[in-house]
């Protein structure tokens, strides 16, 4: 029951991370105009994203334009496009695979196979987390480096946009969801659940102990007619098997 609850929690976290990664990929707010100095018009804001750049005037109207050439983008934005698309694909694939390995579904009947499926799904989600956090952190580092570069003028400096913060939060959700899916059903194969059933003795089952059994309990009373003794193991306890020879 606890494992099923953990699987649902991991699934919900993965869905939230996937939505956040998709929102961060489509939003143009990766780079925002920095209001520094007196030459920047305050009522006009410029946004630069992975697919387009936008201008917003007085918080009312926004005009966007798709990039004409991919080669004209900076290296961090070029890499961010591919990595964010890979993150969405990996997270979506891991989400679909995790649905087949959950205990509340009957797609797979074997529990061992379900555990392996969840481990694979969790690994894909963790890889998606890496594909999100790498471009987001790379772009954030480039923005901070250019902001403190004395060779750039104030009009060329940018600030961290909302899409970067959403990407960092989405990567955290993906990491948590992937770890829960991968390790929620992790159990060592050697530790199995052992159950012992004890039956209450009845009056009919009470019998006299045979002589050979008494001899086993006291080796000094072993009769000469007993040639050898056989043992058998049951539930980690050695019990003598009654073997009598005349």
Structure tokens at 207: 């019998």
Give the count of beta carbons closer than 10 Å to the beta carbon of residue 227: 7
DSSP code string of 26-64: H-STTEEE---SSSS-TTEEEEE-SSEEEEEETTTEEEE
Distances (CA, A) of 237 to 50, 62, 136, 232: 68, 79, 60, 9
pLDDT tens per residue, range 1-39: 567 788 889 899 999 999 999 999 999 889 888 666 555
CA 214/CA 211 separation, integer angstroms: 5
Measured in degrees and rounded to the nearest 5, phi and psi for residue 240 equal -75, 140
CATH code that applies to domain 2-183: 1.20.140.150
Global confidence as pTM = 0.69
Enumerate the domain spans of the chain.
Answer: 2-183, 212-240
Predicted local confidence at residue 115, as pLDDT: 86
Please give the share of the chain, as a percent, with pLDDT higher than 70: 69
pLDDT band for position 138 (50/70/90)?
very high
Q: Are strands 52-57 and 44-48 parallel, antiparallel or unpaired?
A: antiparallel
């Amino acid at each position: 029951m606890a494992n099923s609850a953990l699987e649902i929690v991991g699934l919900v976290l993965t869905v939230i991370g996937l939505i956040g990664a998709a929102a961060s990929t489509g939003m143009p707010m990766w780079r925002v105009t920095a209001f520094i100095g007196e030459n920047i018009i305050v009522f006009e804001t410029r946004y630069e994203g992975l697919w387009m750049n936008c201008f917003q005037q007085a918080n009312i109207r926004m005009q966007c334009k798709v990039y004409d050439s991919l080669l004209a983008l900076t290296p961090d934005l070029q890499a961010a496009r591919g990595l964010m698309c890979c993150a969405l694909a990996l997270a979506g694939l891991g989400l679909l695979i995790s649905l087949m390995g959950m205990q509340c579904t009957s797609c797979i009947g074997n529990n061992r196979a379900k555990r392996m499926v969840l481990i694979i799904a969790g690994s894909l989600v963790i890889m998606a987390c890496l594909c999100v956090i790498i471009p987001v952190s790379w772009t954030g580092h480039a923005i901070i480096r250019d902001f403190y570069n004395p060779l750039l003028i104030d009009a060329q400096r940018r600030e961290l946009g909302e899409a970067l913060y959403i990407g960092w939060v989405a990567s955290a959700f993906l990491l948590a969801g992937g770890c829960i899916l991968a390790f929620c059903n992790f159990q060592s194969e050697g530790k199995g659940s052992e159950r012992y059933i004890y039956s209450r003795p009845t009056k009919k089952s009470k019998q006299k102990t045979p002589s050979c059994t008494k001899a086993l309990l006291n080796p000094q009373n072993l009769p000469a007619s007993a040639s050898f003794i056989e043992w058998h193991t049951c539930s980690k306890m050695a019990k003598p098997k009654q073997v009598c020879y005349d």
